[in-house]
Structure 1
């Protein structure tokens, strides 16, 4: 059929769906052309029914894609909810991690403060111990002398007695102070150990929170990736749906125009086109870059040849006949179709200009178009087909040379 008329860039990326859609499009176009090629009214009716059946299949495919798009929307909504829940969970986990970090920082500052207090107390303790040691030495020295001698040596014996009493008081008070400082140092050491244990617990908790955040972030990324992929697939389906709808509209218009052209310009089927096999001249100069029957993207086959040429190169009719179609068609761009009679048609696609209108008669060698890249081609090329009773045939054996060289 006419599947090869659609270029790979024109086909939606739907795998088998795209291939089936191309097949339906091709079948529709072939059916429309077969209506022109048929000479009897019964053939026209049969081909029209076939075209209508194929058009119905295209409409069914459109409806199928619509249902899939609707299912995609439901799935997108579900994934969006899942993604929202995942991202909210990530946010909460990050908040928990931040709280743990702040608590660790608080404990770190508290330990630093306790360290400073401990050092100050240890300094005080050292000073008190040093002073007490001096007092103990003095008391020791005083204790070695007889108390009576000590008292007699003083001008004021009462004062000497008071001094001995004061030494005793001071020694006991300093000893008590040293004891209190030692208790404070011990208490600070215990508190520091408790804070150290709490800090280790918080450090472990922070690692757990970090691992939880990473796990939740990874889950959110995966959900986001799935959602993005589904959105891309949905966009592709929606674009394919638009293409199918445009092609459906174009094909319906094409079938209508072909039927009208058939009624206005009956085909002259007296000439035996079949006798020209091996004698025709190529429609354009250039190089064949895709051959009839070769496999193309999507597993489809080329139903004609694709000839690389220069932009604006004259495209010539291969034989006399009547132009039955001259307009733009999805996938083929600016297209001219010539009916040569006896059920034979020739097609010339991807032109940049068309010089002949539907209904005009042409002779072999007439310039009917200028080669171009319409229909989505990336470079100037001519797509060419020969059809017999709506079926594509290999065009190369029909020409006098194997390549369309200038």
Structure 2
């Protein structure tokens, strides 16, 4: 049995440069398709990462039983933090302060005075206990907010649709009929808090003419248990409270946004399918223009499989080139870009999953786009192929 004689590797590479216009157009098409896949996957991964980073296992959220999963509609008595502090033993204590954070949270129209832009933003009224509970929060610039001041998250400008400089220290914003000065900026490890503005709880209650709270966040010690907080809520029926671990709360949000993520993956498959058909069309055009060449190769002794492998080699080389170019563009233009969403804002993430999906799809486009036209060309008789124009 004789081994199959393959065409030289250089033959397929040289063919790509013999038709520079067709090669460039095919490469541009493949790069565009793969880049679109990177955008969609980066969106999905960024949303998942933001929600996953927002929940701490040792933090329990206490809010109104009637609000469901919508904390903005929650209203609990102002005495709730004091009652929790007096009733629970497993609360973590730092700097001689029990880690219980009373908070008032709402979405409201915020006007950025520097650009005269109005957008829907997220505001959280907090006390100095908030950083003790939200351990991922770090002030990166400026100071903790004083009276009539706000501390802005690193993605708050993206949520509002304004420039980052418009929320620099000393700039002013307006919401709920009051002017607020930006005192600083904070980060929160990529969590949803980075889309918010934090201001003193007393000032926010005065601006809203409210004395109640939206929620109370409790940070448990290693000996504490969420069951203790749930037991307190069940015993105090008059307060109508519910206790949910923060990690469970944001996991439920992941389920809430599951249709969005499923739609994103569907878009990935639709783009990949469109790319396969575009690749088929391009490769059919390339093969039709080379029928005489392919028939001549068969006439001088090369088998159909050898010629088919050479055509697949050319398509895969183009696909690999398109994948590499798309990867570079994705890291340069997409990775880290902030986008607005209903829950706030988050950054697109071109991570290992996005690379595998994008580049893997590119390779599939090369393989699936080359095999059908190559097989069709090999069915043509040698004499008919040589005579073709």
| TM-score interval, normalised by the smaller of the two chains | under 0.3
Give the strand-richer structure, 1 or 2. 2
Give the helix-richer structure, 1 or 2. 1
Higher relative contact order (CA 8 A, sep 6+): 2
